[in-house]
Structure 1
Amino acid sequence: MDHLQEKTLSRKHIYSGKIIDLYVEDVELPNGKTSKREIIKHPGAVAVIAVNDEGKIIMVRQYRKALERALVEIPAGKLEKGEKPLNTAKRELEEETGYTCQNLTHIISFYTSPGFADELVHLYMAEGLEKMNEESCLDEDEFVEVLEVTLEQANKMIEQKEIFDAKTAYAVQYLTLKMAE
């Protein structure tokens, strides 16, 4: 047993939503004292780095209510129940951007906020992009603008806080390092 582990003493389900479940747990700390932990359970998500033949990154700009502003992000979305991350990545790329791809390669998976949430994001690289004939098929409550930006523009967008989320900043840094090889 890990000497840093917190033992769950009780767990109370507070809320179930479309995207998350919220729990409050009473835990015993490694020193024997107790504390409360607020925990968000999330089904997981994917994010897709998609670069077209001109070397431009396909991104979306969308309003994020939690931040009360629009952000520029790589295409991403949550896993549906029983859906494999690879299938989610293909679906989200098509739905959000109107592009399909010949190949999807898993790069890495990472936790977004492990201090309070178990959301695991699976990052993929899409290659061999092809614009689909039909329009993208967004969720009914989803509104996005599709952008094509150079790596240099993406790095400037990070500096200007237009790109301000971890998965997209990670993707841009990944591409920057890959181009430097």
Structure 2
Amino acid sequence: MTSNGAGFQPVERTRVELYPAGVQPDRWQPGDFLLTRGDSVTAALIRFGQRLRIHGEDRRYTCWNHAALVVGADGLLVEALGAGVQVSPASKYHGRAYHLVRIRADEQDRREVAEFGQWAVQQHCRYGFATIASVALTLLTGAKFSFFIEGQLICSGLVARAQERTGVLFSRDPAHMSPADLAKYYRVEEALVR
């Protein structure tokens, strides 16, 4: 497998399930997360930016532009959106295809992942526009310098920081991980989207 600059090896301890538009899982488990893609201008810009950094075989991971964390057995999600970190029902994605990444973790780790998501909501974490600027600077210049503002998160950074509670170690700063980085790490293949 080629490197996307993140330098990490994919995790072997997950199961990935594809849900086409109109289909939802029978069971949700806190700690899991979903990857999806939208058709907005922002979504297209995120995918474009990922493709600037990720080349070769790993480009297959760049089709996603959003990640959301499962925090409730009823399909309750926590996600970082333009309005900040907020709680959403999974049913909001009913009309869109997505991949559900089912992590393998014990109940204590899953509880900690969900608690981190809820903590981010309770702290009124804002969307990480500074993080996006840092990622863009890295993409445009190749600089290794990165920055973010404490209390601000991007969608995939929220998921990556939550997954650290399961013992996962990323070689890229979790706050700066993109949906493509998550897809690569957890082996969510683009071909499954179609």
TM-score normalised by structure 1 residue count: 0.29
Largest Rg, 1 or 2: 1
Q: More helix by proportion, 1 or 2?
A: 2
Q: More strand by proportion, 1 or 2?
A: 1
TM-score normalised by structure 2 residue count: 0.27
